[in-house]
Amino acid sequence: MLIDAEWITFLKKFTDAQVLVSLDGVKEINDRVRVDVAQNGTYDRVIEKIKLLIENGISFGVPAVVDSYGLKQVRRFIKELKDIGVKRIGINPPYKFDEEDSEFSTMDALVDGYFETWLEAKRLGIQISGKAYLPEWHAMHGHIANCEGMGRAIVVDPDGHISLCDKIADKLGTVYNLKDVFKTDTYAQFAMRVKGNIKACEDCEINYLCNGGCLAEARNSYHSDNLSGKHCEFIKKMAARMFKEF
Ligand code: SF4
């Protein structure tokens, strides 16, 4: 929403800047949840910003949180984005993975829905990844942890406070004592959350791929440092389906 001519000029200076523009589906789906302070839907304005990025040749991706309701419309969403020139879309299942809320009768039917979406996007020539598609996501990013937030990137807020993820409350210091940030126990704990080093996941057949899942998601949804229950079942089944296709 902030992208304007000034931002475009700034972004053009960086060939490796990663711009992510969040949209959660077609207009009627996105505008249920992504609203501005006046409670107006944001879809139309975000699409205008996407067109501005495309016109100026700035590389970007569109991450979307797609729940079982949104999944029924997601192919239309992908086609709409393709038609305006979007090339990369990330599809993420909802934070709290609750089968009771599912529009699909069984977990297998839900997995089918995400899997068919992945195939359709590939047929359309869209690069599609995200947390619903871990094999593709990790093939693209090659993480040894679930994401860069686990010790390989920092988030700086406008006051200079540093955290490792904008969805995890722990503040590790400020830009004025940057060296100390990397000596904290919390930083060490995050940085060591890597493949093969997560006790609760050591017997899981996809732990090398999932790495305990998103820590913010696990903490905020399951009050744990790793995912659990239906969420794990979902990503394991998705991975199995995708590996058969590869
Ligand atoms: S699927 Fe579940 S058990 Fe397996 S690595 Fe991921 S969070 Fe751990």
Per-residue model confidence as pLDDT tens digits over 158-206 = 889 999 888 888 889 999 999 999 999 999 998 999 888 999 999 999 9
Retrieve residue 31's tokens.
């505008």
Could you tell me if 88 and 60 are in contact, meaning their C-beta atoms sit under 8 angstroms apart?
Answer: yes
**Higher-pLDDT residue of 15, 100:** 15
Residue with tokens 């309701």: 69
pLDDT at 85: 95
Higher-scoring residue by pLDDT: 129, 139: 129
- CB within 8 A of 162, min separation 6: which ones? 154, 155, 156, 171, 172, 173, 174, 175, 178, 181
Distance 200 CA to ligand 1 centre (A): 8
Is the pLDDT at 74 greater than 90, yes or no? yes
Question: Average pLDDT of 226-231?
Answer: 88
Mean residue pLDDT across the chain: 89
**26/69 Cα distance (integer angstroms):** 12
Whole-number pLDDT of residue 152: 81
Residue 100 has pLDDT above 70, yes or no: no
| CA-to-CA separations, 185 to 37, 178, 180, 190, 201, in angstroms, rounded | 37, 14, 11, 9, 21
Please answer whether residues 134 and 209 qualify as being in contact, where contact means their C-beta atoms are separated by less than 8 angstroms.
yes
pTM for this one?
0.85
Given a cut of 70, is residue 210 above it in pLDDT?
yes
| Spacing, Cα 124 to ligand 1 middle (Å) | 31
Q: Whose CA is nearest to atom 2 of ligand 1?
A: 232
Classify residue 141 by burial, with Cβ atoms within 10 Å: 0-12, 13-18, 19+: exposed
Q: What share of the chain is helix, strand, coil (3-state, %, to 5)?
A: 45, 10, 40
Return the ligand 1 atom nearest residue 226 CA: 7
